[in-house]
Amino acid sequence: MAARLGELAQPQDCTTLTKIPGISADTVRSFFSLLLTAKMLDVTSATENDTMTQWEFHDLLFHSRSRMGRHDYPLGKTHPFLDKIPPLPAVKAKMSDFSGTVRAIYLYKPDIPKLKAGDVPFTWVLEERKSIRNYGGNPITDKQLGEFLYRSARMRALRPSMTMIECSNRPYPGGGACYELELYLAVNTCDNIDSGLYHYCPQDHQLCHIADRNRKVEALLKNALGSSGEDELPQVLIILAARFQRVAWDYQSMAYSIILKHVGVLYQTMYLVATAMDLAPCGLGAGNADLFATAAGTDYYAESSVGEFMLGSKGK
Ligand SMILES: Cc1cc2nc3c(=O)[nH]c(=O)nc-3n(C[C@H](O)[C@H](O)[C@H](O)COP(=O)(O)O)c2cc1C
């Protein structure tokens, strides 16, 4: 009977459900009618079935619980942990490598006023943007990587708290200006930057070295290759990790859904910047959050990966 209950996470035909060895069909029917009366089950028609069958249990629960309409829980910017737990700082402290040393690489900063005056037109960028999964003969350069990160993800200013949480300002929008997304770079090949894993410090526009190229970094790159369906490792894999509690401190019921929206916002910003810079960009749908956490030395529940973006030089 317990196994049959598990099956009810997906729509089922009642004729199959009532066939349980050792239990009469009448008893099973009475049990399910009890669940129906208690509104723990719902009846769907054959046509509704096609719709419902394609919902996975966790997706539907997430959808209904992180939007208004199907529950009475508090939702939105309620600051559920105010006066209970201090909020995380707006900027994550610089990361050290596994020996405890902070090794930072200062990145190139582009001339933004010059770009504003003479960059390629916005509509050209929008219309030319596409996913590219193959790269040019030469690796992306440290200068290009610096410009790319500066234009898409640097911290422009630290803002005094408008609400109760310290905020910042960046090129892409973010709910509550929380900016919980952290960028990690698994560098396969880049001119003047050694292969390995780095954390991007958005305040000082630096890459902080976490690890040399090792088996975990290799596995992160290979996972991305698998998702792209191509046969060339990305030159640089940008991993988007979330400091979850930055958002959970501020928002109730919808923190994780907001974080995933931020991933989309940042993907598009990175796509557009890469296109304007004639680089090869491609967002990815899945990555291994556990592998990331062990590679970077983060706590899975405090900060783990929620998105991946491949970047490299563009072929002719
Ligand atoms: C959220 C998201 C997930 C994606 N996941 C993958 C992926 O796992 N592998 C891949 O090769 N492309 C992935 N892409 C790229 C899409 O396949 C691509 O955007 C789509 O086919 C449209 O093509 P275009 O970007 O060239 O316009 C993803 C894009 C987004 C925005």
The pLDDT value given to residue 143? 98
> What residue's CA is closest to ligand 1, atom 27?
130
Q: Does the pLDDT of residue 45 top 90, yes or no?
A: no
Q: Are 138 and 121 in contact (CB under 8 A)?
A: no
Mean pLDDT value across residues 17-27: 81
Question: Residues lining ligand 1, judged by CB closer than 6 Å?
Answer: 130-131, 133, 227-229, 267, 282-285
pLDDT at 85 over 90: yes
At a CB cut-off of 8 Å and minimum separation 6, what does 10 contact? 52, 53, 57
Domains contained in the chain, CATH given:
2-55 (no CATH), 104-313 (3.40.109.10)
CA of 271 to the centre of ligand 1 (A): 11
> Which of 310, 293, 312 is closest to 211 using CA atoms?
293
Say what the pTM is.
Answer: 0.90
C-beta separation of 278 from 129 below 8 A: no
263, 275, 284, best to mutate for ligand 1 pocket (most atoms within 8 Å of CB): 284
Distance CA 306, CA 246 (A): 14
pLDDT on residue 162: 59
For 192-243, write each residue's pLDDT tens digit: 999 999 999 999 999 999 999 999 999 999 999 999 999 999 999 999 999 9
> What distance in angstroms lies between residue 223's CA and the mean position of ligand 1's atoms?
15
Give, using CA atoms, the residue closest to atom 15 of ligand 1. 283
pLDDT (tens digit, 9 = 90+) per residue, 106-119?
Answer: 999 999 999 999 99
**Banded model confidence at residue 158, pLDDT cuts 50, 70, 90:** very high
pLDDT at 188 over 70: yes
Mean pLDDT across the chain: 93
* Position in ligand 1 atom list of the atom nearest CA 307: 1
